[in-house]
Structure 1
């Protein structure tokens, strides 16, 4: 009997592409650049303000113009990646980011700098939405995907901290413009590296993009991020800030309503019906709020309280980057298969909260080595241990054609958490410092130790919510059922009739199978 031909193998069953780890290097470098750029200008801001004759009230727009465009356009960027192809959108994002960075670095006026930073944020949204989606679809093996997401998430977590380090080095040695121009060679090298990455073979979405959903969703996110960014300077109850926050909530409410009725919704409701994914979005939002609060705390504490230089303050962030990366890649990848996302996210948030609690105990006599470093290590262990679980839970069990919007959703949650968290932290710190009767140094420290309690409470609440929503450990996939034996081919009757010894053999076999 001839052997039937083997069935065609699906793309998931094909052998892994040998270039997948090279692709992770390329994608991770882009992720590092995106988050690095959100903080690299912080240390350089006094030099920018002096050179461009920037008013004090306009100074926050150096950061706000980037974060508003980045956070507001993430959902639309995710759907564009699903329609146009993730690798194509990723390459376009790199090229646009390089051009915008060059324009920002050469900006002759403050208004030109703000506009270029906004364009940077728009292309950063394209990069962030497509990069995580490419990681999830490039690594088809579950074990390898965990390692890849751990490295990717650790680079993102370390990016904000490394931005302060690199910003201090570049500002002191080369000037503030190189804090922006440094992105040009990084983006171009990354773009060159995409030529050797695997092809994006996942199926693309067809049809039209949900324009009404894009207007409502991106408008709501943009308005909320804008309102939070202005709260520090103008107060939460001023008409402009309060109006922006209420308008953002109204737009997002209308967006949620529209997504249940649109024929092809921008954010399919099925993605947010998964309780584990909702828990991951809450955890990611809370963790980013804690991370940016720690960055602000440490920046001012090292320079204002301890009197460190900008360069030394930047180097003071290194423990966060080193411990986060090591924990995510070495500890997270080993514990996640055994404990599951629920335990890893809950434990990581709780450990990170313990690190923030250590920061509330600092006083004017505290030292960096004895008091600050242990707190940073504790916080970084929690952050690194939960990043992998958050990314895994947010992107698992997603159809390949929805990988872009799923990645954009978790990035949007993190961006919103960071924007709201940092705005609340700054407001509480300034209010507490102003009401403290002691010296300026003691008042500043009192303001920071009071304000850090806000993200501490947020992390604890998020840990409780994650433990409730996330469910048990991830179930193991069922073992594949072996294919059924092929039916015997039809043969002519003359060929099928046995004779002689064959007839006798057949008769004896039937007798054994069907005894009288």
Structure 2
């Protein structure tokens, strides 16, 4: 049952009337959001160089990314609520400060262990920022413009996914791998100044925080992800199996607690009564796992098998990036008018086709244009996924659940990323151990080209096998988005665009 809140009610759930032109605030937020998402993938192309410079293993360097994503994913549920309580702008600026300082720390480290610790701090800063961006956009844009605004936000995630490796390659080749982190410092300063000036300070309201839910979800995620990633290294010892089992049990207890908590659960399960929100969380979890997973095998193949420099390897991503950027605007325009099943279903199907083409042709002597075509096809599909999924996820949610919805959506994407990175590490290690025993540890996975043609072919086979993981995620996402229902927002299917009410509560 819904009821209209009169104009005299406190403006804690809707702030559209306070911002006459919300677009400058959106662009200010996009800069910081783009930066933290680039850092999800920027390390992938520098992986061989970091392995060599820091005398690390493939699994160690994958943890450089996994640690960031884990620290990003675990707190993001509670940071969304903290933004509602203490101000989304305040949390965003605080997180941006932590992220920027941690980036400096990352660049100054000299051991892989120290780099992992610094990345944990960096990920925590990112977790403070991300839900604020989505919640602020939801609150400052009127319903008739919210789809277009969220399309920009979602497209930013898709573009960042492919720009990260390209930027990482250029910086690693030109200045050294440390600069993939140092570059965040000037960008962070500019993003802080713009957000300080252009993002409004929205009304806040009290929350009761579900600290038990935070503890349960954090422990479950750590046990599951650490157990999955280290399982192959430890030959699936009893304590690894126990860790994964304990994580699964804690996750079940967390879900049960969210159902029983009558105060204010960390994850209001009522969110999932909206079918489109539920479908969107599945779709974005798949995309998170793909974004985190596919870069590692591809970049290792390009540098170890083909002998590419980091920049040359990153250029394999250019067709994907070009198509994602070129199509972002027209797809954004369609988001408010077309059924989300049509757009995202087409996107997942095309991306899956492109990825299967890439898998088929990933051989030592394949022409580079063939890889480029496959990546371009994947880029076309991705452009039809990121923005429409983000726009559809929160379209029907009331303003009172803006922070919670943003937190759950972003946490879901990050959970997918963490599990994707953990699983790809297992697959790469196991397939390298199968084809080239000893290559998973050092040497053959480093920055130098594999001279032996037979070994190069086996290495390619190992990377092909690992890439079946992201391919399967595209297939899962395709099935999920077929369950989208027709939206009911203003403007869709000829529905009239009504003036926004002062606020809507459930």
Q: Bin the TM-score by the shorter chain.
A: 0.7 to 0.9
Q: Tell me how far 1:433 sits from its aligned partner.
A: 5.1
Structure-2 residue corresponding to 1:427: 426
Distance 2:57 2:433 in 1: 23
Rg (Cα) greater in structure: 1
Q: Is the 8 Å Cα contact of residues 286 and 458 (structure 1) preserved in structure 2?
A: yes
Residue in 1 aligned with 2:341? 342
| Post-superposition offset of 1:91 | 0.6
Across the two proteins, how many residue pairs are aligned to each other?
A: 470
Whether the aligned pair in 2 keeps the contact of 1:348 and 1:383 (CA below 8 Å) is: yes
User: Which residue does the alignment assign to 2:237?
Assistant: 238
CA contact (8 A) 1:74 1:412 kept: yes
Match of 1:375 in 2: 374
Residue 268, structure 1, aligned to residue 268, structure 2: yes
Query: How large is the RMSD of aligned CA atoms in angstroms?
Result: 2.8
Cα gap change, 1:239 to 1:329, in 2 (>3 Å): farther
Deviations 1:91-148 (A, max 9, x none): 1111111121122222355443322211111111111121122222222243x33332
How far apart, in 1, do the equivalents of 2:205 and 2:240 lie? 38
Tell me the residue number matched to 1:149: 150
Cα 1:368/1:51, change in 2 over 3 Å: closer
Distance in 2 (CA, whole Å) between partners of 1:295 and 1:53 is 21
Q: 1:167-182, aligned counterparts within 5 Å?
A: 167-182=168-183
1 CA distance for matches of 2:243 and 2:201?
Answer: 39
Kindly tell me: are residues 287 and 56 of structure 1, through their superposed partners in 2, closer, same or farther at Cα, counting changes over 3 Å? Answer: closer
The alignment partner of 1:208 has SS state of coil
Shift of 1:266: 1.0
SS of residue matched to 1:373? helix
Change (3 A) 1:204 1:154: same
Deviation (angstroms), 1:88 = 0.9
Structure 2 residue aligned with 1:84: 86
Q: Is the partner of 2:44 in helix, strand or coil?
A: coil
Instruction: Report the equivalent of 2:356.
Output: 357
Instruction: Verify the 8 A CA contact 1:231 1:423 in the aligned structure 2.
Output: no
Q: 1:58 Cα shift?
A: 4.2
With over 3 angstroms needed to count, the CA separation of the structure-2 counterparts of 1:152 and 1:241, relative to structure 1, is farther
Q: Tell me the TM-score normalised to structure 1 length.
A: 0.83
Task: Please tell me whether residue 133 in structure 1 is matched to residue 131 in structure 2.
Answer: no
Alignment of 1:5-20 (within 5 A): 14=17, 16-18=19-21, 20=22
Kindly provide the CA deviation profile for residues 262-310 of structure 1, in whole angstroms up to 9, marking residues without a partner as x: 1111111111222211111111111222333332232123223322111
Return the match for 1:471 from 456, 480, 485.
485
Superposition map of 1:38-437 within 5 A: 38-48=40-50, 58-142=60-144, 144-201=145-202, 203-231=203-231, 233-234=233-234, 237-262=236-261, 263-330=263-330, 332-362=331-361, 363-369=363-369, 371-432=370-431, 434-435=433-434
Contact 1:348 1:386 in 2 (8 A): yes
The 10-residue stretch of structure 1 (33-42 or 274-283) with the greater mean CA deviation from structure 2 = 33-42
Match of 1:495 in 2: none
Q: Does the CA-based 8 Å contact 1:302-1:313 persist in structure 2?
A: yes
Q: CA deviation at 1:221?
A: 2.4
Provide the rounded CA distance (Å) in 1 between the counterparts of 2:103 and 2:15: 38
1-structure distance, mates of 2:423, 2:160: 22
**How big is the shift at 1:55?**
6.8
Inter-CA distance 381–50: structure 2 relative to 1 (3 Å threshold): closer
Tell me the distance in 1 between the aligned counterparts of 2:498 and 2:167.
53
Work out which structure has the larger RCO, using CA pairs closer than 8 Å and 6 or more positions apart in sequence: 2
Q: CA deviation at 1:45?
A: 4.3
Q: Corresponding residue for 1:492?
A: none
What secondary structure does 2:20 align onto?
Answer: coil
How far, CA to CA, are the matches of 2:205 and 2:219 in structure 1? 23
SS in 1 for 2:385: helix
- Contact kept in structure 2, 1:342 and 1:473, CA below 8 Å: no
2:169·2:310 contact (CA, 8 Å) conserved in 1?
yes
Query: For the Cα contact (< 8 Å) 2:40–2:292, is it kept in 1?
Result: no
Could you tell me whether the CA contact under 8 Å between 2:86 and 2:204 is conserved in 1?
yes
Deviations 1:59-88 (A, max 9, x none): 443223212211222112222122222111
Query: Partner of 2:142: helix, strand, or coil?
Result: coil
Q: Summarize deviations over 1:330-357 as a string: whole Å, max 9, x none.
A: 2x22332332222222222111111111
- Shift of the 388–430 alpha-carbon distance from structure 1 to 2, 3 Å rule, reads same
CA distance in 2, matches of 1:403, 1:358: 39
Q: 1:115 to 1:441 in 2, by over 3 A?
A: same
CA–CA separation in structure 2 for the residues paired with 1:49 and 1:308: 16
CA contact (8 A) 1:36 1:159 kept: yes
Segments of 5+ residues of structure 1 without an aligned counterpart are 1-5, 483-516
How big is the shift at 1:27? Answer: 1.3
- Counterpart of 1:452 (choices 459, 467, 470) is 467
Change (3 A) 1:36 1:85: same
TM superposition shift of 1:258: 0.8
